[in-house]
Structure 1
Amino acid sequence: MSKVFKIIITCSLCLSLIGCGSSTKDSVATYDIYNSSFVYGITNNGSNSNIQFFSDGLCVAGKDDLGTSGVDSQVAQAGGAFNATEQSVLYAQNMHEKMYPASTTKILTAYVACLYGDLDSYVTVSENACKQESDSSVIDLKPGDVMSLRDLLYGLILRSGNDAAVAIAESMCGSEEEFVAKMNETARSLGATNSNFVTSNGLHDDNHYTTVYDMYLILNKAIQNEEFYKIFTSTNYTCNYTSGGEPKTVEWSTTNQYLTNSVTTPSGFTILGGKTGTTGAAGYCLVLLSENEDKDTIISIVFNADCRSNLYLLMSEILSNYCV
């Protein structure tokens, strides 16, 4: 075991139990992202007799690319595919390189909200949350609108509402900055230490980045949350809320083109859910959750594709070639 400890990197992970802006040192984690030497937890007396490997239940990814020659990998900058059931890496392309996640950021936003928020509470939307660029993806919130946190989360995931992201952040932590601190803290607690988040919605910032592997770690944990899974795997949603003092009803549908049948799902796969993201710097991104014919859970990711059609082309090739 001493040889293992010579190759691991030590870092302390602080996991907040409740609320924003406060944290409790819960345990110590040491890990090397490139091998199975993740160690999580120390016994109360500080001995190593009851060590639990941090990578238990996780796919452990090395530094080398895997499978890129068998697909049109040149159309994107990074990608990965993981069999979460078998705990194996199926495809790897620049998996640990810094990438801009665009709106796939909202996976972490939604997970933090489901983890710490009361989804049945009501949120009064601020003017600040509604200050989005004219070409921004929004759910058309107006200052003073009253909507449940649960409804905001459906608008966040299905319609990729940038205004919904800010409303969620402000309602939970008082400001987007405090909420983003909670996002970063949560990401680190999952081992996603090569990421840094600046916004709750993923609008571009040079210091807002993640990696394919970190995003796998985040989604892999998030889908274990019942509320998150229900929202993430929805295709349509009817939202009833109050706007201008009057009741209002809107219908939302997913932006995932597999689920809208705009793109053909590869044979043998069931697409469960996913999150798209697009900015000039991030290119076209997709984080996808699916099942193969064996009912294995597959998490597949493509970052910075050069166009939307090639995003789905590469994703389909990865699934068909490596995830059956």
Structure 2
Amino acid sequence: MAQRIRIKKRKSRKPVLLLPLLLVVLAVLGYRYIPEPQHLWEKISEDRTAAVSPLKPETQSAVPVSAGRLNSSQAILVRLKDQRILMEKNSEEKIYPASLTKIMTAIVAIENLPDLQEQIKLPQSMFQELYQANATMAGFQPDEQVRAMDLLYGVMLPSGAESCIGLAERIAGSERKFALMMNQKAAELGMNHTNFENTTGLHAKNHYTTVKDLAVLLNYALQNDTFREIFTSSRHSTQSTNKHPGGITFYSTMFTALGNSRIRGGEILGGKTGYTDEAGLCLASFAQVDKEHYILITAGAKGNHNSEQYNITDALTVYNRLEKE
């Protein structure tokens, strides 16, 4: 009887002894089906890239505008409904984007700010360098507490460099780290001929892009409601701040340069100008003609802030040729 009891005790231990082994086997099998972090990141990147529709070349020019008629040395026109390129001129040549850079600055900031009503302090340390570089400013002052949304308008309408850096330092800790985020976004969008070194567009040898890449960027950014609202605004008044109790009113540099000029059969809905000595006069614009929407990117036009605005002239020339007969 005692022997039978011992045998039963041995049999009762077998499941207990097998349990740790079974857990190990299940863990190994489960691990094989967990994707490695790098593979997971590649999948996310592929999904993001797939969401961006590539631009499609037109088989023949759909706009009767000779490239020689344009003042800009690089240009591209895209119809948004089908991403069709209707006209291009040296669209893949390297350019310096000047303040068209701020399109990327704005969209990256919008996508990484959890609260657009947040108050952001503009530190004194950044102002002296911007003054020395003669950077365009929105009008904020050192130590001013500014709402994030007002800084975004400061980036896009008056092209304020202090607004760019204030957002960059709040989001990434420094302008340099924020520029890395801009390059990451460019890579996700397939902007393969672009590299950003700063948020403002101040000239740097390795800060470059193409008008085709910028068309991809603007097409993407306009799908964001906040960006689109800012990009199409002609003016904006900020909320009261500790330095400006009455706020500041901004005016779009593009709408100011456009003045009373109009296009046939439609209107220019929004835009961003840019200029440095190296970049020439640049413009990224968004228009509606005969119920169709278009974006036009031009760069490299001769002139400066005091001359005729040949970037605006080129936009009017191109958009006026889109009206259906």
Normalized against structure 1, the TM-score is what? 0.78
Trace 1:1-324 onto structure 2 (pairs within 5 A): 25-27=41-43, 41=47, 54=50, 57-61=53-57, 70-73=66-69, 75-117=71-113, 118-131=115-128, 132-133=130-131, 135-244=134-243, 247-257=245-255, 261-262=258-259, 264-293=261-290, 295-307=291-303, 308-322=308-322
Query: Cα–Cα, structure 1 residues 242 and 195, in superposed 2: closer, same or farther, change >3 Å?
Result: same
SS state at 1:92 partner? strand
2:168–2:174 Cα contact (<8 Å) kept: yes
1:200-256 CA distance string (max 9 Å, x none): 011100100111111011111111111111111111111124235x73411111111
1:69-125 CA distance string (max 9 Å, x none): 625445221001000113211110011111111001100100001111121111000
Query: Cα–Cα, structure 1 residues 261 and 312, in superposed 2: closer, same or farther, change >3 Å?
Result: closer
Query: Cα–Cα, structure 1 residues 193 and 120, in superposed 2: closer, same or farther, change >3 Å?
Result: same
Query: Cα–Cα, structure 1 residues 56 and 155, in superposed 2: closer, same or farther, change >3 Å?
Result: closer
Between the two proteins, the alignment pairs up a number of residues equal to: 279
1:40-72 CA distance string (max 9 Å, x none): 55xxxxxxxxxx994874422489998686254
Deviation at 1:140, TM superposition (A): 2.4
Gaps of 5+ in 1: 1-23, 30-39, 42-51
The amino acid of 2:119's aligned partner reads Y
Query: Cα–Cα, structure 1 residues 145 and 232, in superposed 2: closer, same or farther, change >3 Å?
Result: same
Deviation at 1:168, TM superposition (A): 0.9
The amino acid of 2:83's aligned partner reads Q
Gaps of 5+ in 2: 1-39
C-alpha separation between the residues in 2 aligned to 1:283 and 1:194? 19
1:6-36 CA distance string (max 9 Å, x none): xxxxxxxxxxxxxxxxxx724277xxxxxxx
C-alpha separation between the residues in 2 aligned to 1:240 and 1:70? 46
Query: Cα–Cα, structure 1 residues 55 and 262, in superposed 2: closer, same or farther, change >3 Å?
Result: same
Structure number with higher helix proportion: 2
The amino acid of 1:226's aligned partner reads D
C-alpha separation between the residues in 2 aligned to 1:206 and 1:61? 30
C-alpha separation between the residues in 2 aligned to 1:170 and 1:73? 43
The amino acid of 2:41's aligned partner reads K
C-alpha separation between the residues in 1 aligned to 2:178 and 2:246? 28
C-alpha separation between the residues in 2 aligned to 1:186 and 1:53? 10
2:235–2:250 Cα contact (<8 Å) kept: yes
C-alpha separation between the residues in 1 aligned to 2:216 and 2:155? 20
CA RMSD of the aligned region, Å?
2.7
Structure number with higher strand proportion: 1
C-alpha separation between the residues in 1 aligned to 2:302 and 2:260? 17
1:108–1:183 Cα contact (<8 Å) kept: yes
The amino acid of 2:148's aligned partner reads L
1:91–1:322 Cα contact (<8 Å) kept: no
Rg larger for: 2
Query: Cα–Cα, structure 1 residues 148 and 57, in superposed 2: closer, same or farther, change >3 Å?
Result: same
C-alpha separation between the residues in 1 aligned to 2:75 and 2:272? 14
Query: Cα–Cα, structure 1 residues 231 and 127, in superposed 2: closer, same or farther, change >3 Å?
Result: same
- Seq. identity, %: 29
